[in-house]
Amino acid sequence: MLIIVPPSETKRPAPASGPRLDLERLSFPELRPTRAEILEALIETSAGPDAFTRLGVRPTLAAEVARNTRLLELPTRPAGAVYSGPLHEGLSVDTLSPVGRERSRHSVVIASALWGLVRPDDLIPAYRLKLWARLVGVGRPDIAWRTVLSTLLTDVAGDAALILDLRSPGYQQIGRARVAAERLVTLRVEQHGFARRIGDVVAKRVRGQAARHLLESPVEPATVDDLATILGERWAVELLPASRPTGSWELTLLVE
């Protein structure tokens, strides 16, 4: 199974010490040219007078923009520990059982505006970059990644029976695996009852908890029905088939 997770805007600060970024040691070495181009552009953009406008951030985030200019100097952490938003809190890679941790190493990829795809153990620094930023010399990262990531995700998904995509529609636009619809699943989170909408923070945390539940399950799902059965151990689930051949199954978790 392949689980595709988004990054998070919030990130843990750099540790006091540790290895510096080494692009050569990141997973998916075929992404190195695009990573290097975007990294260089982000450093240059963050040092410019129009950095806040180009990066689409408020001046209150000046410290994080300044941090971008030192990305080659900062100590790194494993990517699974860098991202600290609600989904990654729910997933909590660092506290998985040994079996779940080992499964995450080959089953989880994190899609990112800066790195493209990384594995949870890849060492990266904290940074600030949105998909729709306007980087000097590069433009928008989402456009730069679109063709590259779609091809790579298709290759990575080659041996996986199922692909669970936990990204938002915006992040899915930077690349989707070109696989048959019966292998691709997206996950929604809604509330039981008449008022089905639920807060974004809660929905993200539950998506992370769902990924964790799958990684800790003694059984790895081989079909969409298997996936629904395993997640149904913890949540009420609804499953809708793909509405078109190039679409995906939609699995909804209902929370109290």
pLDDT band at 246 (very low <50, low <70, confident <90, very high): low
| Torsion angle in degrees (nearest 10) through CA of 150, 51, 138, 145 | 0
- Average pLDDT value for the chain: 93
Residue 38 predicted with pLDDT over 90: yes
Helix (H, G, I), strand (E, B) or coil at 235: coil
More confident residue, 176 or 141: 141
pTM recorded for the entire structure:
0.94
In tens, the pLDDT along 100-152 reads 999 999 999 999 999 999 999 999 999 999 999 999 999 999 999 998 999 99
User: According to the model, what pLDDT value does residue 173 have?
Assistant: 85
Cβ pair 36, 105 in contact under 8 A: no
What per-residue confidence (pLDDT) applies to 91?
98
- CB 253 within 8 Å of CB 210: yes
For the cut 70, the answer to whether the pLDDT of residue 19 exceeds it is yes
pLDDT value at 194 more than 70: no
